[in-house]
Amino acid sequence: MTPPRLARDRAWRARLDPMERYVERHEHLLLGSLSVRVTRAPSPAEAAAPVTEPEAPAAPEMPEADRTQHMARVFQPEAIAEARAVLGPKPANSRDATTYVRSVACLDRAARDDGWRSLPWAGPCAVVDPFGCLGPEFANFGEVLQHLRTQWTLVRRARSAADARLDPILLTGEPGVGKTHFAAALAALLGARMSIFSAGGAQDGMQLCGSDARWSGSRPGMLFDLLSLHESAAPVLLIDELDKLAPNSGAYRDTPTNTLLDLLEEDSAGRYRDMSLQLEMDASRVIVICTANERERISPPLLSRLTEFHIAQPTVEQRRAILESYLAALLESHNCPAGLALDAVSAEVALATPDLDVRELLRMVRTGFARALAAESDRVILAPLRRGVTRQRIGFI
């Protein structure tokens, strides 16, 4: 026969889930750096009392008018309901069931916060000129920064922040001038997520708009992930090496060129459809930055939708400002000895070397900085990095 107290304890425990049981029966006492767990037995009154869950405080609901001024609706409830209806019931086939479960989870992500996402240029946190801090590090991007300031003024003065957007831009120039680094810095400045679409060799647009829902193992595209997984309605999408995009064969509609044409046009981007989920979404506020080395290889329809800027190699003075800004960022993010600075002699030699691009100069600063920390020196010496050595063949002639 089970003792009455043991039966009472079992009945009391049966009413609790594991997390409630832990909260009810264990307390943690922090004594300095030690954590002591004390277990107590429930009193008869506690065991007899019904267990009720504490009500979580309800999150304050933002009025619709304020939402329009601070946020944008990327996923409409009607579009999500339509996509759920297209999915239909869960299939019996295990492989199709896996795709079905993944699609349902994706639609749940899209429905988060009723499809609303934040805007970097709206709300009390938006500043008048957020791009001023990029000037020293990107001294050769003066025209681009001035263009962004003009665009920023327009989007902040718009009557409805949800209707504003930053125009897509194209950065052309030699490799190593900092085009990709600039896009990453802009995304970090705006607090937005950045994804990179490598256009070189892309044969279709599935990576952007998702694979066809009729295919087994169909997956959503990069744009859906950017807008559903994160909080911003204006993430940064970097189209890298646009000049290496495969030519449009015209045999299929979902070629990379057609996919990008839809994304770069504001009207069609506002009705952008993910092919895997058959879900329509508003991607018109996505900040698109394209890079290319040779603009002549880009198709004219794409060029007509982009504001183009040629990024030249920085001058000696601009290089010096870039190096000092990069070193200041390293000093801020590391524990460094006082007075650590660039070595004047090696810096002048590096700045006067014409075949060193910005990318290689920054690598030299980082390597010299690490060596200075290891040697506990107060000087960052910019030594030329070891380049690839051509091996000579050994054999008989």
Helix/strand/coil (H, E, C) string of 183-242?
HHHHHHHHCCCEEEEECECCCCCHHHHCCCCCCCCCCCCHHHHHHHHCCECCCEEEEECH
pLDDT value at position 19? 43
Report the range out of 10-19, 64-73, 293-302 with the highest average pLDDT.
293-302
Q: Could you tell me the pLDDT band of residue 28, with boundaries at 50, 70 and 90? A: very low
pLDDT digits (tens, 9 = 90+) for 160-214: 888 889 999 999 999 888 899 999 999 998 888 999 998 876 777 788 888 776 6
Contact between 114 and 68 (Cβ < 8 Å)? no
CATH superfamily of 70-310: P-loop containing nucleotide triphosphate hydrolases (3.40.50.300)
Angstrom distance (rounded) from CA 25 to CA 184: 49
Average pLDDT over residues 79-83: 94
C-alpha torsion angle, residues 319, 320, 324, 325 (rounded to 10): -40
pLDDT value at position 289? 96
Q: Is the pLDDT of residue 333 over 50?
A: yes
From 8, 28, 113, 126, select the one nearest 69 (Cα to Cα).
Answer: 126
The residue among 9 and 245 whose pLDDT is bigger is: 245
Average pLDDT over residues 77-90: 90
From 376, 279, 382, select the one nearest 324 (Cα to Cα).
Answer: 382
pLDDT digits (tens, 9 = 90+) for 259-281: 899 999 999 999 999 988 999 99
Q: Is the pLDDT of residue 58 over 80?
A: no
Dihedral (CA of 40, 45, 51, 56) sign: negative
Q: Please, which residues bridge with residue 304 across strands?
A: none
pLDDT value at position 69? 72
Q: What residue spans define the domains of the chain?
A: 4-48, 70-310, 316-380
Cα separation of the two ends of the chain: 98
pLDDT value at position 338? 80
pLDDT digits (tens, 9 = 90+) for 345-383: 998 988 888 778 888 888 999 999 999 999 888 899 988
Contact between 284 and 271 (Cβ < 8 Å)? no
The rounded mean pLDDT for the chain is: 80
- Predicted TM-score (pTM) of the model is 0.75
